[in-house]
Amino acid sequence: MARKTANDDPLAPVTLAVGQEDLLLDRAVQEVVAAAKAADADTDVRDLTPDQLQPGTLAELTSPSLFAERKVVVVRNAQDLSADTIKDVKAYLGAPAEEITLVLLHAGGAKGKGLLDAARKAGAREVACPKMTKPADRLAFVRGEFRGTGRSATPEACQALVDAIGSDLRELASAVSQLVADVEGTIDEAVVGRYYTGRAEASSFTVADRAVEGRAAEALEALRWSLSTGVAPVLITSALAQGVRAIGKLSSARGGRPADLARELGMPPWKIDRVRQQMRGWTPDGVSVALRAVAEADAGVKGGGDDPGYALEKAVVAIARAARSRGRG
């Protein structure tokens, strides 16, 4: 979910949306446009790319109108504006026009930083739209989507949806909308499984879960399905690494309630319960063996081997064997 500054009026003279997450950037624009049209149904919306905003164009768009119409001017990829156009925008920031809302979409970073700083100095309303690269961020996004609809979903259901859909926020948002529209009551893991069973079976985390549980045949089946449906090998090695590391973290942690361990290890409580079930049969030596297998697979899928699929199969088998190392002597 996009984060906003204290100035949360979408009709502020200037809104600055910063980041590279396309869905969040689009939502920032939609929020401003919706507020403007609620105030005036005849609001004129101009959505411009850098090549469409030439020197002098902004002055034309924001000049006083005989009809005093409300207008929203959206500038995408503002970091790519020409030097002369940036001068125009900076000048406008110093004296924004009434009934006009300027929305600047900026990727952040060093390019075009002068414009970014100028907008902030001018007191622009800011919406943070960072790229969500971490699974925890995507999980928080899904939870926020359900909360935004006023509906309840279990932690397991949210995690299953992230595992099944992957990293595309638009698809995650669409999946939440579909579940909310189709299902009454609390949405649980079984519901997500019914809707997205094919994708869930193909997910990298399903491969990892079956492997760390010692279920080699099922893990290999899920792996082959994943690869055949286009799941990137590097995502599978990442999931395997996360699964094994979670086993290692929990096995070396002090005993306690899931909530206490969750705070200590940085995991949600429901995951503590799942990992506790998965870690039966694991030994410290087994964790070491599994981590080495993951490292070798990672090298194999990143160019160190001829066949990424074979490298992953070897890792899955090694991890499943390590999961059953206790009691083998």
The secondary structure of 170-207 as a DSSP string is HHHHHHHHHHHHH--S-B-HHHHHHHHHHHHHTSHHHH
Task: Write out pLDDT tens, residues 87-101.
Answer: 999 999 999 988 899
**Domain extents in the chain:** 14-129, 135-196, 204-323
Tell the residue number behind the tokens 């939609």, with chain if given: 30
Mean pLDDT of 216-242: 85
**Which residue from 135, 161, 139, 156 is spatially nearest to 277, judged by alpha carbons?**
156
Q: Is this structure's pTM higher than 0.75?
A: no
Residue 307 has pLDDT above 80, yes or no: yes
Q: Residue 315, Cα to own-chain centre: how many angstroms? A: 27
Pairwise pLDDT comparison (83 vs 164), residue with the higher score = 83
Q: What is the rounded CA–CA span in Å between residue 103 and residue 75?
A: 6
Q: What is the rounded CA–CA span in Å between residue 183 and residue 294?
A: 39
pLDDT exceeding 70 applies to what percent of the chain? Answer: 88
From the options 3.20.20.60, 3.40.50.300, 3.20.20.70, 3.40.50.2300, give the CATH code of 14-129.
3.40.50.300
**Which residue from 112, 20, 34 is spatially nearest to 72, judged by alpha carbons?**
34
Q: What is the rounded CA–CA span in Å between residue 162 and residue 160?
A: 5
Mean pLDDT of 106-130: 94
Q: Assign a CATH topology to domain 135-196.
A: Helicase, Ruva Protein; domain 3 (1.10.8)
Residue 59 has pLDDT above 70, yes or no: yes
Listed in sequence order, the residues at least 6 apart from 136 whose beta carbon sits closer than 8 Å to its beta carbon are none
Q: Assign a CATH topology to domain 204-323.
A: Zinc Finger, Delta Prime; domain 3 (1.20.272)
Task: Write out pLDDT tens, residues 120-168.
Answer: 999 999 999 998 888 888 899 999 999 999 999 999 899 888 877 777 7
